Every structure is written in structure tokens, then in C-alpha cells.
Amino acid sequence: MPNSKTKMFNWEKMAQLSDSEIEQKIHDILKEMSLREKAELMAGDKSLLSAIGMLIHYNKEPIPAGVNERLGIPGILFTDGPRGVVLNHSTCFPVSIARGASWDTDLEERIGNIIGIEAKAQGANFFGGICINLLRHPAWGRAQETYGEDPYLLGAFGSALVRGTQNHVMACAKHYACNSMENARFKVDVNVSERTLREIYLPHFKKCVDEGVASIMNAYNKVNGYYCGHNSHLLRDILKDDWGFKGFVITDFLLGIRDGKKAIKAGVDIEMPYHWRMKAKKIVKWVEKGEISEDLIDGSVLRILRQLIKFSSKHDSDLYDPDKVASQEHIDVALEAARKSIVLLKNDNNLLPINKETVNKIAIIGKLANKENIGDLGSSLVYPPYVVTPLQGLKSIANKDTEIVYYEGKSIKEAQNIAQDADYVILVVGFTEKEEGEYVFTKGGDRESLGLTHKDEVLILKIAEITDNFVVIMEGGSAIITETWREKVPAILMAWYPGMEGGTALAEIMFGMVNPSGKLPVVFPKSQDQLPYFNMDAESIKYGYYHGYRLLDKEKSSPAFPFGFGLSYTSYSYRNLTLSKQTIHEGESLQISIEISNEGDYDGEEIIQLYVGYENSQVKRPIKELKGFRRVAIPAGDSKTVKIDIDSNELAYYDDQENKWIIEKIEYIVYVGPSSSDNAKLLSKKFQIQ
């Protein structure tokens, strides 16, 4: 091997290589590498001491792994997500669950494109923020980082974010797999059947793999007795063999693996953020002693090199100008996302929107009304140049002669006095990083209760005694139980953590400048009894086949607000459901057509949802499950015909006895409507697969 210190390979010149040329090139590079250099490619370049700095300011600069100056290998330069780039002062979008409520995958792809630009403009080539863990139970502290409870929705949004970010940088889908508990994430063993694993907890990862995602991050938890980073069934049998994944697997940080030798054998390619369990000298020793085959090391190195070359495009100083970070163009997309994400849950007697021209006095109450509340303070924390609070948004959009009175809400009596004199009362309540988020020492973690604090609930009830012109805005990362006060309040909005322009979007909706269009990506239950078992301190837990709307359908139980639910300032009607065929064959697609009419006075955007049910199946199946959706703009008084395709492969179930997917030759039911609820008057038609 040459001893020259001169760079042997120019990565930027490899940008235009074909797939076959890339395969040849990575083998050429491999031949030039010593065993030590191969091992050094397989871990982060930071020292253990860097963990202290990360606790002070995580990911302040890109985190390197596998940089090799002699060969010119750039390594990966990691930045986290998913609500934006976790470096410096980036654009802060609404959290992922809010974006899931937009049901707008085109928007999500544009957000990914912006994230990719801002990542590369700040020196990164790798985005670790495609978080697609399934929200099994809304108490999960990091629910805000994923898109909701449905694997189809997760797959659609995750693959859209992959497409957008990978216009510019490598993307990483995480946390693989069955990661949906926070406090116990380092120890919990998730017991799950093979069928449930394949149908419920993995399809969205498969969609990202099919989209060409560069990397997968393994989770901390165990699955069926093995840590995910030591789990060869997950990493080799399913990911690399069954799915044909050509990218590389990286660990979650610090405790992503416990044993380097086991991790390498199981299929881990890179330990992050530094050499610890997979130290280069250890790897060399294992190979020299015959404890690990060098073929395994070569396989990991080839996977890493393949992605580095695929994403080695020349740095375009105009496209990746640092001035584009948090530019007005990017902020405008963050505002669009906030507008589309906010869900109107209740609006009795059309209390909203507020007429700007006639309202004289508005009282806005609650400490969150004036707090920059953009999500938790863990690894997803973004540092935007500014944040518009609900109070600021209201003040900036209201007429100059409208009096805006703000009160934090410490005294219920004072809040009532203020409410009594106002034309409208807006109360902002919910959660912050203290109650939910990534568990860091005493902050964040899983929620102990899905309800608001007792103080917030009392405040709501006391203000409701004073006025009928009362709006409650909720901020949070997941479902909130509202039973103690919901019937007392005429208007309720779910704002989630709405990003840097959230206050602007809220005010625009309140004043009718924007018609609300978001719909829930997670069930809002009446009580926790409607949800699967959850124990935040569990060392072992069973994940069943049913959760969310699937579980409620099975139990014939009605939530407070169903999956897919959201109101508008206008009304829509559905008619003329037609199918392109009554019978299709395995491998064929079916096209569904539906006419939607906007029968109200406001232009709007409706989210059409398509579910499929199964008649006379030989195995347990959901009553119905999401298999398609479209977001469509419809002017007031207008109608549009929407077409949605169903791939018959999406209707298969996994036979864990035969270890294969089976498409049953039975009758299927198509349901189309504005939400998952039967009360939504879903239209239905049947078809067969032969």
C-alpha cells in the first residue's frame, strides 16, 4: 500500500459516476486501505471527552466520522433534526407530528429540500432527522419527532423527507426499530410477533429504503431479547437481505451498542459519535485473532464508501450560500407548514373566525401565549433567529384600534375579570420541554398524564363561566385528553409546537385570513383506557397488533377526536365514489375516483382519506386501515374530482408461519371520507382480488 500522504482520490470528481462505476470505484478504494484505516472509517472521530461539550450545546457543529485525509475520504459530517438543522441559527419548522397533521407530502419534500440546503451550507453532508418511529401511545415523550400513529402515513412522509434532503445530503431514517418509549429506551425489551413487526412497525422504514435512504440508525431498546444494535434479524435478515438495503447502519449516540463485536456481526457499520465499543484497535485485534471475518469489515466499508460517493457533488457556493440559512424564502415555507398543520377541533356556532373589523377587545391569557414554545430541548433542538409567539402574532395582525390585553394567568380571579370585559378570550395552554421530549436528566421524558395540568383545566372551566366567546389553543407534541372541559368550550385549536412562525399562522387562522385545514395524525382519546398498555419504566413490554384508530375500531369505541379529524371554516361534501375495476389481479393497481364539493363561503383545502377493509380474511385484520390520501385545494362553491391509486401489494399480510407476504383473494372494501370515523359518513364500495 502506498505511504504517500497525498490525497489519492478526489471525491468531487466522482459526483457523476454511474452506479456500476461507483461499485468499481469503492472496490478500488478498498484495495488501497489498510485494515486500520477500514476500522477507523467505522466510528465517529470525536473523543469521549466531546460528550461533555455535547451536553452543553449538542451538535453545534457537524459531527465527523471516518474522515481519512490520506485517501481524501470526507467521512460523514452529521447534523441532527427533524424540525430543522441542529446547527447555528437554522429555519425552525413545526415539529414532525404537526407536519403530519398537514397531510401534505409535497410540502414535506420541499421542507426536506430546504433542510438539505441549510445542512450543506453549514458544513454537513449527513442529516440524521428522518424520524419515523410509530406513535403506539401518545404518552411517548418524543411523539413530536414523528408523524403520527399510522405506518402508511409515516412511510409517505418519511420517504418525502428523504427525497427532499437527499437532493443535497445523505439522510438517515431512525430509530430502527420499535422505539416508542422514552424513559425506558435504554433498557426496555419490546416483545412483538413477527407479523406485527413486519406489518405495523417496519413498513415505513421499508418505504424509506425503497426511496434510497443513505443510512438507518438503530434504536437503543431491545426487540425480542436483543438490543437493536446487536439484532441480526433486524439489521441483516430484514434490512440488508430481505429489503436489499445498500446503505449503512449507524448507531444511536453513546449507548447505541453495548458490545462492538456483537454489533459488527449483527450489521452495524458505524458507531456514533466516537470510537468506544468499536475502537479501531479492537476491530484490528478481532480480525487478526479470527474473531471477526475481514469480509464483514470490508462489507461495512463498501457500504459507507458507496454513499459517500453518491452524495459527493461539488459544493455550489451559490446554492449553499450561508445567507440562505433561515432566509425569508425558507421562513415562508415554515409559515406555510404552520398554517397547514394547525387543527381546528371544535367551532360551535361558527365562533371563529374573529371579524377584524368589528372586534374591539381581545384578551389572550396563559404563560404559553408569550413563550417561544417550539419543542423539546433534546437532540432535535433548533436555534432559529427568532420565534413568533401567539401574542406577538395576534398583535401584529389585529387592527391597530383593537385592544389586545395579555395576562399570564396566575390568578384565576384576575383572569376572570379580564375575560369579562373582552369581546373574545383566547387561552393558550399545553406543554413545554419540561413535560415531554427527549429524556435528559430531569427534563422531558414520557408524559405521566395525557390531560392538561390541573391548573390549566381549572382556568379553562372558570373562564368558561364568564364568556361564551372563548377559544382554547393547545400546544403539545401529541394527543391531549380534554374530557373535563371540552363541552364547556365553544372553540378549540391544536397548534402542536408550530415552529418559528407559529404565532403568525395562529393569528391568521383566528382572523380568517387562512382557512384551517389540518387533520389529526393521531387519535385524541376520551381516556387512557382506550389506548394500549403503557409503562414508562418498563423493562419488558408487549407490542400488540392493534393501537390507535385500529384498536378503537376493533373495540367499537369512540374517541373524543378521531384519527384524520379536523374542521374547516367551510363545509365539504363527498359523492360519486367510483372504482376503475370491480376485480383486479395480484400485482395490479386499482384507481378510486371521488368528487368533493366545497359548499361553504371560504376557499379551502380538504384532505381526502382512503381506507381499506377486509371481508372474510383468514387472519385477523383491522376493520379498516389507511391506504391513501390526497390534499386538494377547492375554491368556495367549486367541485373537484380526486383520483387515488391503490397498489394491491399494499393489501398483503405477513404470514409468519410461511415467512412471506400473502395477498388474499377475497373481497375488499374501500372507504373514502374526511376522517377515519364512521360518523364522517364514509362512502364505500367493494372490489375483489383474484
pLDDT one-digit tens code per residue, 199-233: 999 999 999 999 999 999 999 999 999 999 999 99
Q: What is the 3-state secondary structure (H, E, C) of 445-512?
A: ECCCCCECCHHHHHHHHHHHCCCCCEEEEEECCCCCECCCCHHHCCEEEECCCCCCCHHHHHHHHHCC
443-445 vs 437-440, strand pairing mode: antiparallel
Give the C-alpha separation, 97 to 576, whole Å: 32
Long-range CB pairs of 367-370 (<8 Å, 24+ gap) are 367/408, 367/409, 368/428, 368/429, 368/430, 368/432, 368/475, 369/406, 369/426, 369/428, 370/406, 370/408
Grid cell at residue 538: 418498563
583-584 vs 222-223, strand pairing mode: unpaired
- Decide whether 11-322 matches 572-689 in CATH topology: no
How many Å separate Cα 410 from the centre of its chain?
34
- CA 40, 45, 48, 51 torsion: positive or negative? negative
222-223 vs 403-407, strand pairing mode: unpaired
Among this protein's residues, is 348 annotated catalytic?
no
Which residue ranges make up each domain of the chain? 11-322, 333-555, 572-689
pLDDT in tens, 530-568: 999 999 999 999 999 999 999 999 999 999 999 999 999
**Omega within 30 of 0 (cis) for the link into 273:** yes
pLDDT of residue 12: 75
Segment holding 633, helix H or strand E:
strand 625-634
Segment holding 393, helix H or strand E:
helix 390-397
Burial class (CB in 10 A: 0-12, 13-18, 19+), 351: middle
Q: Which residues of the chain have pLDDT under 50?
A: 1-4
Among candidate residues 688, 684, 646, 685, the one with its CA nearest the CA of residue 667: 688
Report CA-CA distances (Å) from 424 to 66, 294, 494, 516: 58, 70, 18, 19
Among candidate residues 642, 30, 576, the one with its CA nearest the CA of residue 295: 30
User: Is residue 360 within 8 Å of residue 423, measured between CB atoms?
Assistant: yes
Contacts (Cβ under 8 Å, ≥6 apart) of 169: 116, 119, 120, 124, 125, 126, 127, 311
pLDDT of residue 1: 43
pLDDT of residue 447: 95
589-598 vs 639-647, strand pairing mode: antiparallel
pLDDT of residue 2: 44
HSE-up of residue 560 (Cα within 13 Å, Cβ side): 22
Give the C-alpha separation, 663 to 651, whole Å: 6
Give the C-alpha separation, 326 to 329, whole Å: 8
Q: Which amino acid is at 415?
A: A
Beta bridge partners of 660: 655
Give the C-alpha separation, 600 to 572, whole Å: 7
Order of strands across the sheet that contains 491-494? 343-347, 491-494, 470-475, 424-430, 361-365, 403-407
pTM of the model: 0.97
Report CA-CA distances (Å) from 287 to 33, 36, 181, 300, 633: 15, 10, 36, 14, 60
Diameter of the chain by CA atoms?
Answer: 83
The SS3 of residue 380 is coil
User: Is residue 443 within 8 Å of residue 375, measured between CB atoms?
Assistant: no
User: Is residue 142 within 8 Å of residue 437, measured between CB atoms?
Assistant: yes
Segment holding 424, helix H or strand E:
strand 424-430
Contacts (Cβ under 8 Å, ≥6 apart) of 96: 82, 83, 131, 144, 145, 146, 147, 157
Give the C-alpha separation, 652 to 586, whole Å: 10
Domain covering 572-689: architecture: Sandwich (2.60)
Beta bridge partners of 540: 189
HSE-up of residue 101 (Cα within 13 Å, Cβ side): 40
Q: Which amino acid is at 409?
A: G
DSSP annotation of 367 reads G
Among candidate residues 4, 6, 24, the one with its CA nearest the CA of residue 14: 24
- Could you please state the CATH topology (level 3) that the domain comprising 11-322 is classified under: TIM Barrel (3.20.20)
pLDDT of residue 7: 63
Other C-beta atoms lying within 10 Å of the C-beta of residue 509:
26
Which listed residue (252, 269, 456, 553) is catalytic?
252
- Packing angle, helices 328-341 and 105-121, rounded to 10: 150
pLDDT of residue 326: 98
Classify domain 333-555 at the CATH superfamily level. Glycoside hydrolase family 3 C-terminal domain (3.40.50.1700)
Give the C-alpha separation, 256 to 625, whole Å: 33
Give the C-alpha separation, 274 to 264, whole Å: 15
